[in-house]
Amino acid sequence: MIKIGEINTLTVISKNTSGFLLEHPEGDESVFLPGALAPEDLSIGSELEAFISVDKSGSLTCSTEIPNTLVGEYGFLKVVETQSFGAFLDWGVTKDLFVPDTEQKERVRLGENHLIRVCIDTKTDKIYGTTKVNKYIQNSQFDIEAESEVQIVPISNEELGYRCIINKKYIGMIYHNEIYQDINLGLPLQGQVKKIREDGLVDASLQLPGFKNVINSKEKVLEYLKEIGGSSPLNDKSSPEEIRATLNMSKKTFKSCIGMLFKDKIILIKKDGIELLAK
């Protein structure tokens, strides 16, 4: 069955001078792809990943351009045009995503980036965006759990931390007191789930939990020492700010790392810093 607003794997069943007719292998619906939009090597029997939407008349349309945010997903999208009846946002393809004025929590402005959920009108099958996301957050059905590895996209800097999109499906937060690296809005990061909250939000972290974090950070300290010639003025007396600026980690993690490296006879801990032992 062809799914509107999603990526579909379709098979070419016929060809004419105008283009190709494609069909989903599990259904009897077909959709036309103009030849001008088709890959050069496309032929009968070929499989093709395509994005399906509907046009103004309600007919299915097929495109090999894939939006960066699909139906049911959240995106951090830029407003590229505004009208009295709504706005258009860039979602990575030629045809911009329409956000009706009735689906704007607050009026969006040209050039702004906004948290958007991509939706589909169940009556017309037309795709649209909304900034009114609270009801979707509250009704989230999770396929992640605590300690799941996830993609985290920070979208706004708030009092407690950065509001984020998690795996394109959920909204959550990474907290300021647990961040030890520079954050750029819209830039994807890897992290882990700390907690799924009852309100539908996700508490996440850029740090691995507990012992896993120390093991990963230990390798970072070793690489740092090798890169700078084997010795560093950093030690367990250094300030948290200095450690964070140099290694993007907390002082607690750093102290655990150098303690393990010292115990394994890989480094020396001295009054004026740490030193990599020659092997």
Provide the CATH number for the domain around residue 220: 1.10.10.10
For residues 107, 109, 114, 116, the Cα torsion angle rounded to the nearest 10 degrees is 60
Residue 24 lies in a domain: yes
The verdict on 173 and 221 lying in the same domain is no
The verdict on 78 and 113 lying in the same domain is yes
CATH number for the domain that contains residue 31: 2.40.50.140
Alpha-carbon distances of 172 from 78, 84, 117, 160, rounded to whole Å: 20, 32, 14, 12
pLDDT value at position 250? 80
- pTM of structure: 0.77
Q: In the predicted model, what is the mean pLDDT of residues 119-128?
A: 95
Confidence of residue 242 (pLDDT cuts 50, 70, 90): confident
How many domains is the chain built from? 4
Classify residue 224 by its DSSP letter: H
Q: Are residues 225 and 237 in contact, defined by beta-carbon separation less than 8 angstroms?
A: no
Asked whether residue 247 carries a pLDDT value surpassing 70, the answer given is yes
Residue 266 lies in a domain: yes
Residue 2 lies in a domain: no
Residue 69 lies in a domain: no
Residue 137 lies in a domain: no
Identify the CA nearest to 193 among candidates 201, 203, 183.
Answer: 203
CA–CA distance, 43 with 20 (Å, rounded to integer): 8
Domain that holds residue 96: 74-132
